[in-house]
Structure 1
Amino acid sequence: MSAPRTTHAAADGLRFAFGTLTALPVRVTRWDREAARAGMLAAPLAGLVVGLCAAAVGGLLLLAGSGPLLAAVATTAVPAVLTRGLHLDGLADTADGLGSAKPAEDALRIMKRSDIGPFGVITLLFVLLAQVAALTGLYDEGWAHGAVAAAVAAVTARLALTLAARTGVPPARPDGLGATVAGSVPARAAVLTALLVTAVVAAVCGGLFGAYGAYGALHHVLALAAGLGAAQLLLAHCVRRFGGVTGDVFGGLAETAATAALVVLTLG
């Protein structure tokens, strides 16, 4: 009896991950803590699909004769399309809430409004510019560099959400996505997932870059670690300022992690 139940829970988790973290036509059949836990553990898989789609679009444009800049813009646009811009919207709302310097209750009210303030606009501008600039430089080195970077950045973004959903991180509101997933993942499971994803990234990147395999593996692992580190710093700040996490904060964490990973991949 345990095997079918485990399989069913895994399927519910995949539907939760793809149904909440992407705009792919996946129906979420369960919206409870067990499904949320499985879904957040499966979040890196959703990121991998998004990243591969972004890499494919960038590669097709390069194959058609476009330059690295246009391929980079398209690669940056695909995750926005596949999330209906929710992560970017969350980043902007989080920036507005933090930038307001108001008490937690007032800042959360600002974040819930439908408009985007000046802090949100500026943050979106610089984050998107950084992503496009980083991918342009990587595509200029070759399609494989840009494609792998797109995939690693997307996986890092969703892995940051797995870690942010660990036990001990409270929700800032009693409702919404943040309340559903906050604290749903046991800390040990979150860390083990991060270690597993890191090992897979190291193995894949080490195999892809031939003679530079060891350096490629280390470089991409460092990028993943930098992305997770940047997201954790933002998470700690948001918990102090807002008293916990919200759906907007999760979106901000994802974009922060992806951007930091891409920037590190351009270095060296």
Structure 2
Amino acid sequence: MAVGTLTTVPVPAPRVIDRRVAGGAMLLAPLAAVPLAAAAGLVVAAGTALHLPALATAALALGAVALGSRGLHLDGLADTADGLGASYDRAKALDVMRRGDSGPTGVATLVFVLLVQAGALTGAIGAGHGIAAAVAGVLVGRCTLSMSCARGVPSARPEGLGATVAGSVPRTATIAIAAIAAALATLIPGLPWWRGVVAVALAYTTAAVLLIRCAKRLGGITGDVLGGCLEVSVAAALLALSW
């Protein structure tokens, strides 16, 4: 479920999708995203070796990740922004998010977050640790999914991906994933140990802010909210690693 939901890697469908399977998938999200992180790192390595402009290399790396995830999380970010910006009425906001089109708020938010991601990764490439930043950004963003699906986080709808995964991850497991992410981030090559910890902390904080906002406005999470939280956390992590 983790690989099939978060990447384009062809895998058999799960035999059963229940709360246990859904929670396990969210916990395994960073491992499922390893191919995406590897692709981003390889693109940065190739761009650096070919002496491509740092911004072009960063854009290509982020494009590879988006392609490898079907653009699912970017779509979720745009839909979440449209819903939050459309109306203070919960039902109307959820209806806007359900539509397939993107409004001006969603497009502007998408462009803004992608600019931050690309600009931050460009800075990391220029500073000489672009490969590590690209890999870390992808993986840290997926680590935050367990927080967004932690026990006590409700679903905004009775159906859909949000309803399947909402509240499916034990809080102790969520804390463990965050602690492991912070510990591994201290090993990012070319950077002092605390920079990785700051990247993880900033990613989790940014995702938590959006998560709390959506829970108050929408009544809980949807699949789109998960994608939005993931993308802003990637931007935050890359920003912390950008120099």
Provide the TM-score with structure 1 as the length reference.
Answer: 0.87
Instruction: Check the 8 A contact 1:88/1:251 in 2, yes or no.
Output: yes
How far has the Cα of 1:62 moved from its partner? 2.0
State whether residues 157 and 257 of structure 1, in contact with CA within 8 Å, keep that contact through their aligned partners in structure 2.
yes
Letter in 1 for 2:221: V
Partner of 1:170, secondary structure, is: coil
Equivalent residue number for residue 49 of structure 2:
63
Q: Which has the larger radius of gyration?
A: 1
Quote the offset at 1:37 in angstroms. 1.3
Give the alignment's Cα RMSD to 1 decimal: 1.2
Matched length: 242
Question: Counterparts of 1:159 and 1:170 in 2: how far apart (Å)?
Answer: 19
Q: Is the 8 A contact 1:51 1:154 kept in 2?
A: yes
1:28 matched to which residue of 2? 13
Q: 2:228 aligns with which of 252, 257, 260?
A: 252
Is residue 99 from structure 1 mapped to residue 85 from structure 2 by the alignment? yes
31-40 vs 41-50, greater mean Cα deviation: 41-50
TM-fit CA distance, 1:130: 1.0
> 1:186 aligned to 2:146?
no
Q: Secondary structure at the match of 2:154?
A: coil
Task: Pick the aligned partner of 1:173 from 144, 149, 157.
Answer: 157
The residue that corresponds to 1:234 in the other structure is 210
- C-alpha displacement of 1:61: 2.1
Deviations 1:161-199 (A, max 9, x none): 111111000000111111111101111111112111221
Matched with 1:74 is 60
Tell whether the 8 Å contact from 2:88 to 2:217 is kept in structure 1 after alignment: no
Greater per-residue helix proportion: 1
- Offset of 1:259 from its aligned partner? 0.3
5 Å-filtered alignment, 1:1-268, equals: 16-29=1-14, 30-142=16-128, 145-202=129-186, 204-205=187-188, 208-209=189-190, 215=192, 217-266=193-242
- TM-score w.r.t. structure 2 length? 0.96
Once superposed, which parts of structure 1, at least 4 consecutive aligned residues long, lie more than 6 Å away? none
1:43·1:158 contact (CA, 8 Å) conserved in 2?
A: yes
Which blocks of at least 5 consecutive residues in structure 1 are unaligned?
A: 1-15
CA distance in 2 between counterparts of 1:133 and 1:256 reads: 14
* Separation (CA, whole Å) in 1 of partners of 2:12 and 2:161: 16
CA contact (8 A) 1:47 1:151 kept: no
